[in-house]
Structure 1
Amino acid sequence: MPSSASAGRSALLIIDMQVGMFNGPQKPYEGQRVLATINTLIAKAREAGAPIFAVRHTGPLGSPLEPGSALSQLLPELAVDAVTDTVFDKARPSCFAGTGLAGWLADAGVAELVIAGMKTEYCVDTTCRAAAELGFRPVLVADGHTCMDTPVLPAQAIIAHHNRTLSGPFVQLVSAADCLFVQQSA
């Protein structure tokens, strides 16, 4: 794994932007804006030659999000290219748990991981923390992640809380407009 002090290239990680979560009964906060922001990040990553990873959360067989189900698929409006980008499944909140993500990033010389997607308080939060623990430099796009209202807090407060909590100890927080993809080799 890269150390936090090492140089290295950037990659984009898009978390759980899939049909069943985005278009479910509870709509994500500012979902269309976040989707457009993520598509802008994809374009920036492509222009810089940065690898793009898109992960789908899957549930057990027989569940609405079982692997391969219509609801587990990435949003068709998402500008991910299944031929050139790496699309993979996970069954845990961390994009690293039970997947090959850490190895793929290391093999590609990635040190900095730009993170966007949903849901803020679950998979985005967990992946940010895990990336830092694994020695990557996580960059959370402050306006590139979302979630739904809960009985306890509105989504806007959840997002603001996580941006503040994660910034510094766990991630570098940037806006999509200020997000750059570094392409130095390690």
Structure 2
Amino acid sequence: MHALLVLDMQVGLFHGPDTPWQAERLLNTVNQLLGKAQAAGAPVFLARHVGPSGSPIEPGSNLTRLIDELHLSGNEHIFEKTRPSAFAGTDLVERLHAAGTKSLVIVGLKTQYCVDSTCRAARELGFDAVLIEDGHSCSDTPALKAEHIVAHHNATLAGPFCRVVHSQDWQFD
């Protein structure tokens, strides 16, 4: 069974001072995949990145709240993480196994941190990792434009770490 994993689509990253590249396209893609997963009865997991107490992203901070624009059904599994990989220090592996998940479809923020780390870890943990080519983003950095970061990660992760699939070509079955 396939599961959808949505990474860090939260207020502080999506609506923060460094708007993700093609934010509206990302939101539309994530919502399309949420709809596909819900229609197929596939489990949906949403990660929220939190930091230590006293930080801007401490647990309970408005900045860690999932954005209101997500089309959630109420049946999703929402969890907090404190590391780039959604697996580190969480019970995600156990939840995925309990749901009968063999394949993990990954979308969200930020490409070079949490998306990259989670894709690499998923394959190492035995899951068929699928990165949605147009389903992740980040902001520009001093060294690279976000568009180039996304393209680089799609090319680098494809093959040894995950399958890279365009959202229109993905179906949950």
Tell me the SS of whatever aligns to 1:124. helix
In the other structure, the counterpart of 2:48 is 56
Structure 1 residue 63 displacement after superposition: 1.1
Separation (CA, whole Å) in 2 of partners of 1:99 and 1:80: 22
Q: Which structure is higher in RCO with an 8 Å CA cutoff and minimum separation 6?
A: 1
Separation (CA, whole Å) in 2 of partners of 1:21 and 1:146: 10
Residue 67 of structure 1 is aligned with which of 56, 59, 66? 59
In the other structure, the counterpart of 1:36 is 28
The unaligned stretches of length 5 or more in structure 1 are 1-8
In the other structure, the counterpart of 1:162 is 153
In the other structure, the counterpart of 2:129 is 138
Structure 1 residue 32 displacement after superposition: 1.0
Matches within 5 A, 1:1-186: 9-81=1-73, 83-182=74-173
Tell me the SS of whatever aligns to 1:110. coil
Give the conservation status (yes or no) of the 8 Å contact 1:93–1:123.
yes
Separation (CA, whole Å) in 1 of partners of 2:132 and 2:72: 18
Instruction: Give the counterpart letter for 1:42 in structure 2.
Output: L
Runs of 4+ more than 6 Å apart: none
For residues 61-118 of structure 1, what are the alpha-carbon distances to aligned partners after superposition, in whole Å with 9 as ceiling and x for unaligned?
Answer: 111111111110000001124x311000000000000101000000110000000001
Identity of matched residues, %: 55
Give the conservation status (yes or no) of the 8 Å contact 1:55–1:90.
yes
State the superposition RMSD in angstroms.
Answer: 0.7
Separation (CA, whole Å) in 1 of partners of 2:119 and 2:72: 21
For residues 112-167 of structure 1, what are the alpha-carbon distances to aligned partners after superposition, in whole Å with 9 as ceiling and x for unaligned?
Answer: 00000010000000000000000000000000000000000000000000000000
The unaligned stretches of length 5 or more in structure 2 are none
Give the conservation status (yes or no) of the 8 Å contact 1:54–1:80.
no
TM-score computed with the length of structure 1 as normaliser: 0.92
TM-score computed with the length of structure 2 as normaliser: 0.98
Separation (CA, whole Å) in 2 of partners of 1:99 and 1:161: 28
Counting matched residue pairs gives 173
